[in-house]
Amino acid sequence: MSWEANVRKVTPYVAGEQPKGQGVIKLNTNESPYPPAPGVARVLREYDAAMLRKYPDSETEPLRSELAAYYGVEREQVFVGVGSDDVLAMAFLTFFNHPSLPVLFPDITYSFYDVWAELFRIPYQVQALDEQFHIKEEDYRKPNGGVIIPNPNAPTGELAPVSMFERILRANPDVVVIVDEAYIDFGGESCLKLIDQYENLLVVRTFSKSRALAGIRIGYAFGSKKLIRYLQDAKYSFNSYTMNSITLTAGVEAVRDDSYFREITDKVIATRERSKKELAALGFSFTDSKSNFIFAAHEKYRAKELFDALRAHHIYVRHWDKPRIENYLRISIGTDAEMNTLFAFLKEYIGA
C-alpha cells in the first residue's frame, strides 16, 4: 500500500481562463466591467497596516452588520464567506448529509454543484431543464436530501419567479433548500423575503458580480437564525478566521455606496438589453437573461467555431463542451465599447 491509497481524489472545478496582457476583451467569467465603489480605494489608501498583526474579527464584523442593515435583516441571519463558493461549499458540508437520498439540482447549472457533491461524497441527481431551459418545478417534489437552484440560473440566465421557490419550499420542509442568487441584482426578484417564513431556506449572494469585487472574495448568505447558526458552527470547525481584516472593512464601503451600486448595475442591464438586440440581428437566439451574461446560440455557426475565432481575436467568452449546451456561448456583459468590438467582429465574421 502507499500513502496515495487514502488520498481524496477529485476532478476539480475548472474556472474560466484568466488571460493577461493588454488588448484582451474578457467576457468569460462574468466579472463587472466597472471598478468597485470609490470607497474601496479609499479604505486601501488609508488602511492602518500595523493593525494586520492582529487576527481579524472572527464574527466577520463590521461587514456582517452592514449587510444586515442594508438588507433589513438581523445580523444573526447573515453569514459571510470567502466568495459565494466558500459559502456554498460550507453549506453543502453542513446541510447535505442525508445518508441515501440525493441532493437535487438542474442538469444545466453552475458546474461547481456536482464538484462539491463529489468532494463531500454526497449523493446527487440532476434534474433536466425543459427544452426552453426552464426549471421543471415538479422535479423538485420527490424525496430528496436537499435542493439547490440558482436564480437566475447559470449559464442560462433564466429567472424563475419567487412563487415557484415558495412552492418548492412548501414541498420540502424536511431538507435545506438553497437559492443561489449570484446574479439576482441584474433584474431579478429575490427570495430573501421568504427567510422569516421558511427556516430551511438559504439565500446565497456574492460581491464578485454586481459589486465589482471578484478580486476581494466576499460571498454572503441569508437564512433563519437557526440555519445560519449551524452554518457558522461548521465554519468555525473549518477555519475561525476566513475573512481578512482589509476585506471586511472594504466590503462595508461597497455596501454603503448604494447610488454607485445602482449606477453600475443599471449600466450593465442597459448594455445587456442592447446586446440582445445586436445578437438577434446577427442571427443568435438566446434565453431572456436577467443576469450579467447572455447564453446564445447561432443559427448557422457552431459555438466552438465562434469561440475559437473570437479567442484568436483576443475576445474571450465561455464555451462548454457538454451535452445540450455545446452549441451555446456564454457572453459576459462588458462595457459598451467592449461589446461594440465583439459585435463588429461577429458582423465581419458572420457576414464573410
- Residues of span 66-85 touching its own copies by CB under 8 A: 82-83, 85
Residue 352: CB minimum distance to its own copies, A: 32
Amino acid identity of residue 224, one-letter, is S
Residue 4: CB minimum distance to its own copies, A: 8
Comparing CA positions, the residue from 171, 197, 297 lying closest to residue 149 is: 171
Strand pairing category for 78-81 and 219-222:
antiparallel
Nearer to its own copies, 252 or 297 (CB): 252
Nearer to its own copies, 146 or 188 (CB): 146
For residues 271-330, which are near its own copies according to CB under 8 A? none
102 contributes a contact to its own copies by CB under 8 A: no
Q: Segment contacting its own copies (CB under 8 A): 43-51, 286-294, 301-309, 338-346?
A: 43-51
23 contributes a contact to its own copies by CB under 8 A: no
Q: How far apart are CA 223 and CA 94, in angstroms?
A: 14
Q: How far apart are CA 124 and CA 109, in angstroms?
A: 14
Which residues lie closer than 8 Å to 89 by C-beta, 6 or more apart?
A: 116, 119
Q: In what order do the strands lie in the sheet with 146-150?
A: 78-81, 219-222, 201-206, 177-180, 146-150, 103-106, 124-127
Q: How far apart are CA 76 and CA 67, in angstroms?
A: 11
Residue 246: CB minimum distance to its own copies, A: 6
180 contributes a contact to its own copies by CB under 8 A: no
Residue 349: CB minimum distance to its own copies, A: 27
26 contributes a contact to its own copies by CB under 8 A: yes
Comparing CA positions, the residue from 261, 291, 331, 263 lying closest to residue 183 is: 291
For residues 199-258, which are near its own copies according to CB under 8 A? 199-200, 208, 212-217, 226, 230, 232-247
262 contributes a contact to its own copies by CB under 8 A: no
Residue 344: CB minimum distance to its own copies, A: 24
Reduce the DSSP state of residue 186 to 3 states and report it. Answer: helix
Residue 90: CB minimum distance to its own copies, A: 9
Residues belonging to the chain? 352
Query: Which one of residues 97, 163, 197, 285 is an interface residue with its own copies (CB under 8 A)?
Result: 97
34 contributes a contact to its own copies by CB under 8 A: yes
